[in-house]
Each structure stands twice: as structure tokens, then as C-alpha cells.
Amino acid sequence: MPTVAFQGEPGAYSEAAAWEFFPQPPTTLPCRRFEDVFQAVVAGQADYGMLPIENSLAGSIHRNYDLLLRYPVHIVGEHVFRVRHYLLALPGVRLEQVRYVASHPQALAQCEGSLRALGLEPVPAEDTAGAARALRDQGRTDMAAIASQRAAVVYGLQVLRAGLEDNPANYTRFILVAREPYQGPEPPHGYKTSVAFTLPHQPGALFKALSVFALRDINLTKIESRPLPGHPWEYRFYLDFLGHARQGPGQRALAHLAEIAPFLRVLGTYPRRPGPNAESAAGQ
């Protein structure tokens, strides 16, 4: 089985996404930082890296967009993961004993209404699975953690409440990166391609860039801008479209875009995995 690097402790949502993505559970390699995931893949310590790229409630994970350009990796897959938050405690602890709950600030924010209704005081932690591990190590009976169901198994905790998130439409889109481009079979739902590019600072530049896709009836599923380091008020664009970078309309669109964009890099062409809220309305 392949080795998949992810950011966080064992039991993190990224690890759960890797387990869902592959037909058989892969070997997983926990990493402290997102940079460490990229480095593990480039160094050959892992075959793949599983990285969150956007959440349906919190938006994009900008750090990973920037790191995609820093490291020589290719996006070879995507996975839309349904985030379900679980309230975990030590075995035998009752809900009425709990006064505090620890988790990543984003998880706490996504469960704010539920925590208020339960009368629990939030305590920020570095990550969700780390909060579960700390709870096990500290043995506190007045503390709970918000983490994944797998974290409960990994750290021997019990589930006090399931589905603690305030909004059930909570999905995270993950990307799978590797050292080489995707070379697998023809995907059943077609291809998606991710690119990054810059544009000259002049009127109509973005309109012209997007027109290369509109003229060929190519559906855009995501567009994101990030500040261009060293160039105040200039931006790099990240764009996803349905199609292949080296076939048909997608290839012709990128050849046209290369005439407009001073910088253009294909981040990967990979199998599209449709799912609930998996695609934005950018191309509608």
C-alpha cells in the first residue's frame, strides 16, 4: 500500500480523508506542518501527500496554494470529505461533568452554537487530533475534545455527542499530491485541471484570461487570487477547470492563456471526483 503524508496527529481529518480516498487503508505519515508534507513527498518518504485546499464554510487554505508553487509536486487527485465533529471524553466521563472543550479554533467556531447550548467553555488547541491526544495524556475529567470519530478510536476516548457542527453542510476538499503527474486510467467523471498564472497589470487582463475558457465552453469550478510576493497590489491567480491540460479544448485554452500570462504553471490534471458541494458556481 502507498504511504500518504498528512498534517496533524494520527486521527486528524486529513488522515481520515486519506483512508476514504484509497480502496484499502494506506500507510499514513503524520507531519507537524503543511511544509513537512510537501517535503516528505519530494524526498520520497511518502508516495503522496493529502492536503486540505478549501472548506465549504471557512474558505480556502491559502498556505497550501502558496506551497504548491514552492515544491515540485503535481496534483493527482481530489477528495471531498464530509466533516463531522465529535465531542470526545475519557471513558466513563458523563457530559454533565465536562466544563471545557479543546480543539482547533476553526472546529470550535464551527460548533459554537452547540457548545453554547451545552454550556461548555472553548479552549483553543493546535489541531483537533492533538486535542484528543492531550485529553488522553492529561486524564482530565472536566475536559472534552472536538475531533474525528477515528481520533476516538486512536486515543481510546468515548463519544459523548456526534454531529456537533452547527452547519451540516460542512465539507473540505482535499488534494492528493505526488512527485509525478497522474498517469492512471481514464476517469469515469472526466478530468479536472488546476493552474496558476499571473497577468499584466492593465485594463481587461482578467477578462481576456477568462475568455480563453469561455470561448471554448470550458466550465471553471474555482478561481482564487493571492498577493504576488514582492509586488504590492499585484496578484497570482489559481484556477480549476473541467478538462485536460494536454487534450482538446483544455490544451487549446492554455496555449491561448500562455500568450496573455507572463507566468503560467499547470499544477496538475487529475480525475474529477464529484460530490456534495464539490464544485463552486464559478462557471455557471
Known catalytic residue: 172? yes
* Partners of 193 in the β-ladder: 241, 269
- Residues near 8 by beta carbon (within 8 Å), at least 6 away in sequence: 14, 15, 30, 31, 127, 128, 129, 130
* Partners of 145 in the β-ladder: 88, 102
Q: What are the φ and ψ backbone dihedral angles of 155, each rounded to 5 degrees?
A: -110, 10
Distance, in Å, from the CA atom of 107 to the CA atom of 101, rounded to the nearest integer, reads: 11
Sign of CA pseudo-dihedral 9, 138, 128, 84: positive
Known catalytic residue: 141? no
* Partners of 101 in the β-ladder: 122, 144
Catalytic residue among 6, 81, 174, 213: 174
Distance, in Å, from the CA atom of 174 to the CA atom of 56, rounded to the nearest integer, reads: 12
Q: Crossing angle of helices 13-21/128-138, nearest 10°?
A: 120
Catalytic residue among 6, 21, 38, 172: 172
DSSP string computed for 100-120: EEEE-HHHHHHTHHHHHHHTP
Supply the residues annotated as catalytic.
172, 174
